[in-house]
Amino acid sequence: MALRHQLLNDDLIWHDRKRWYEALSLITNLFERHKGELAEVERIALALRNKIGGVDRFIQENTAQVCPDCRKVCCINKHGYYDHQDLIYITALALTPPQYGAGIEDAAPCQFLSETGCGIERSLRPFRCNWHFCSELIAFMNSGPPKPLREFNNKFRELQSLRQEMADRFFLILTMNRS
Ligand code: SF4
Ligand code: SF4
């Protein structure tokens, strides 16, 4: 699993653009060269996208109540970048990452933040954006009816395990075809 540790790991950061593009190229090339073997990864990515769409309403209903009054918005620029699992997901969906602006401080407002909220469709946001819930938001969600929250929590666990399955299968194919 050496390649995984060199390029595709949780340390991957946008600041090292050369490394980031190498990682993207590694993923893209694998999908191009081993499309058949990666068909299951593509299927899981699509299922994941649909399932993220399925939790959008619940999240939106809650953030719409809490976030407009927030004094310390969590959408800072460093959160707007894809990690390596996001890159696998996006490539499996035959999409490409956005062109990131250069020279933006990590702590500056996220480059995708607009007056109406995030400019990226929920299912295509960096995954971390979809599972970040600040304490105020959690408290608000907990104060609502328990059934929708329970259903959301269950769906969210499914999402996380599906995402892991997608990554595990990708790395299996990567390892099998490593030259
Ligand atoms: S999730 Fe929490 S920290 Fe982020 S904008 Fe909403 S209220 Fe603010
Ligand atoms: S939710 Fe959107 S605006 Fe907020 S940090 Fe993530 S990408 Fe940026």
Residue 112 in contact with ligand 2 by CB distance below 6 A: yes
Q: For residues 56 and 48, give the distance between their C-alpha atoms in angstroms, rounded to a whole number.
A: 13
User: What is the tally of structural domains in the chain?
Assistant: 1
What residue numbers bound the domain in which 129 lies?
2-176
pLDDT at 13 over 90: no
pLDDT at 1 over 60: no
For residue 134, which of 142, 123, 146 has the smallest C-alpha distance?
142
* pLDDT (mean) for 36-64: 97
**Helices 84-92 & 146-176, crossing angle to 10 degrees?**
90
Pocket test for ligand 2, best of 77, 110, 111, 133 (most atoms within 8 A of CB): 110
- Write the pLDDT tens digit of every residue in 53-98: 999 999 999 999 999 999 999 999 999 999 999 999 999 999 999 9
pLDDT in tens, 112-131: 999 889 999 999 999 999 98
Ligand 1 centroid, distance to 167 Cα (angstroms): 28
Q: Tell me the pLDDT band of 12, cut-offs 50, 70 and 90.
A: low
C-alpha span between 37 and 145 (Å, rounded): 44
